[in-house]
Amino acid sequence: MIPSYERCQYNWELDIKNALPPPIVGYEPKVYTPEELNRPLTFGTPELGPPYWLVTADPNDTIVLMNCAGEKTRYPAHCNVWQNTIDHYLCEYYTLSRKKYEGSVVMCMLAGELQTKLQNYKSASADRQKPLPQNIQLGKLSEPNTSFLLPAFASAEYRNQLYRWIDTPATATNQISSIEYDGLPFVPHDSSDYSPFTLIDYIEHEYHTGVSLSIEITAVLLEINPSHRDEVLDVFVQDAMSAIISCPYLFTRNTVARQYIQQIIMECTSQNSYEDQFSSSPLWRKALEHAQYHPNHLTREHNSDNADVSDREQIDAILDKITSLLSQVCHPINLPAYVEHPTHGLPVFCNGKHANVEQLLQIIVEQEQQPARCRREDYILFRKVHSHIRTAIQEGIRQMNKKVDP
């Protein structure tokens, strides 16, 4: 039998080639006349309604790879390319790392101000205690009020979430939804118990917070007339949010979220329909129907290629193979290199070449260097978007926990 790690045949060029091209045309449901409805029932291919153009890819969506000789190759990237390559590799890395550290724990020491705040929390009456995030459990104290046992898997991220929760008042809603809150790691002033993020921590942080997703959504909303942004965001939250949050493929779900909004932008622009009453027009309703195509075709689960792998040596070999693949990427980001030398905090699953993304990432850099109250339009819009994203993620985790422990 061939060992599982030798069957790990991931290859950028082949995996890009094998990604199915996305459709460029969608079809509305066929609307039947009364006469057609009275026809005898027949079986076969359903009849299609009028066609419409689909947004397929942003011109700035590319994967740039560098080989050992320093030569670069640029590949246009649509949703299926993201899912079949970097997102697939990341999900395998995540799944195997979780299996590798299953059951292992690390000690997290609380000191100084954090310890005092936790003691105050535990001594407060139940009706005054702030709610715990769905991904934190306070029942794992190894000693009263001094230390926690955290999962060894993504331990830096769980420590980060714990510190944030202890330090932040429940009423600080503007702070919690700000770009720097989830965009920067929490470093305690009086504690040496801080670990830098690994690749697994960055992935887990994105699953916990959706900060990269919020940046990408904010960036594309900034392309819309300000008077229509709330309308577009509201329908996105209502119609697309759940499917996108449920998707484990990080670059893919960012792309689909953008395409939902870009579909509306494209159809509104083509019809010159950004007038005040557009949201009550038939064209607006058609644009929303067409935009829904994108989240409707998202994959919500990852089926691992390596479900049969349990040997530690085999797991490490596959993780090394994936790390090597990720190290070939020049754009959108070389993740292993970024882990060693982070430059803009925790949102690493963004495309800096998308309009408005770089300026949002720059806010994180500025807030890290010199925290200050920010009243910029993009900052305020991000806060609105991220509040929705965080709420949806926490609800998703809560529902998942109910299934596991009813």
Q: Say if residue 404's pLDDT is above 60.
A: no
Does a cis peptide bond (omega within 30 degrees of 0) precede residue 332?
yes
Mean pLDDT across the chain, nearest whole number?
86
Which pLDDT does position 1 carry in this prediction?
36
Q: 85-122: per-residue pLDDT in tens? A: 999 999 999 999 999 999 888 877 777 788 888 777 77
* pLDDT, tens only, 201-236: 999 999 999 999 999 999 999 999 898 899 999 999
- For residue 360, which phi and psi values (nearest 5 degrees)? -70, -40
Model confidence at 145, in pLDDT bands (50, 70, 90)? low
**Predicted pLDDT at 202:** 98
pLDDT at 142 over 90: no
Under 8 Å CB-to-CB from 395, ≥6 apart: which residues?
Answer: none
pLDDT at residue 43 in the model? 53
The residues, any chain, with a CB within 8 Å of residue 377's CB and separated by 6 or more, are 222, 226
Name the DSSP letter for residue 353.
T
pTM (predicted TM-score): 0.90
pLDDT class of 2 with cuts at 50, 70, 90:
very low
Per-residue pLDDT tens digits for 42-85: 555 556 777 888 999 899 999 999 998 999 999 999 999 999 99
pLDDT band at 405 (very low <50, low <70, confident <90, very high): low
Q: Which residue has better confidence, 338 or 4?
A: 338
d(CA 112, CA 401): 32
Question: What does the pLDDT read at residue 32?
Answer: 56
Percent of the chain past pLDDT 90, that is, above it, reads: 57
pLDDT reading at 4 higher than 50: no
Convert the pLDDT of each residue in 256-300 to its tens digit: 999 999 999 888 876 555 555 556 677 888 889 999 999 998 998
**Per-residue pLDDT at 36 exceeds 60:** no
Amino acid 3: pLDDT: 46
Residue 370 is predicted with a pLDDT of 87
3-class SS of residue 49:
strand
Contact present, 306 and 95 (Cβ < 8 Å)? yes
What is the rounded CA–CA span in Å between residue 199 and residue 16? Answer: 23
- Other beta carbons less than 10 A from residue 145's beta carbon: 14
Distance CA 32, CA 41 (A): 13
Torsion-angle region of 112 (φ positive above 0: left; ψ -120 to 50: alpha; else: beta) = left
